[in-house]
Amino acid sequence: MSCGGWRAQPLSPYWLQGAELLHQQCWCWGQDIRRAEGNLLLHFGLNRTRPPELGRGSSRYEWRDGGTGIVLWGFGIALRDGQCGGIYVNRYCFVPRWLPQQFSLDEIWRAEQMENHRGPSTRREIRRSRRLLKTLVGWIASYERWVRTGCGVEYRRRTLAEWTRTDIPADQMALRWEQLGRHVEEPPPEVPAHSVRPQPGALLSRAAWHSAAHHAAPAVAK
């Protein structure tokens, strides 16, 4: 899978796994929003803000816990920490981009508004981006555990019934996120200016998933 303008070297299995998972997760969130029995994102505690021009951009869902905030759109997800900045992860490219502390997400409705953000470059930004990404994937894993507990695995299977882009089983989604969180790799030295969708044939096999998880290194340093 290619990832926008990033061409220095092929992305490692870690970043390919993350891209697959997030792409599928965004589909699931879309189904959770349209759930006949009620919007699961709202039930989980997120607040929704619709774009000022309906039909022009994605609604923003926001979750807060103290100084930590997570913002979710149809095109990606961001995590902000009041003490150290934040990261944005595009739906089609898992490599994080760095968000300075002063940057506001309040008026972000479209993916192109985030295209100019660079990747973490200093040692401090790289260290912090890994820590923030670990927090982010843990949050997504907890959401999937919550969905399974409250709605059952059959509900998640139904949401994936028409999904053909990836083949991550419904009952393994939380586990796959937890595996990614065990060791967050250092982001590649170059980050794309824009993202491209995963191409057919470029997705990881299940054997590659298990191999990568087996060789995972210890938890990321603080």
- Cβ proximity of 188 and 8 under 8 Å: yes
- Cβ proximity of 166 and 1 under 8 Å: no
Residue spans of the chain under pLDDT 70? 1-9, 190-222
pLDDT at 149: 97
pLDDT tens for residues 18-67? Answer: 999 999 999 999 999 999 999 999 999 999 999 998 778 999 999 999 88
Give the phi and the psi of residue 63 in degrees, each rounded to 5.
Answer: -125, 135
Task: State the CB neighbour count (10 A cutoff) for residue 164.
Answer: 8
- Cβ proximity of 86 and 102 under 8 Å: no
Q: What is the pTM of this model?
A: 0.82
pLDDT at 135: 96
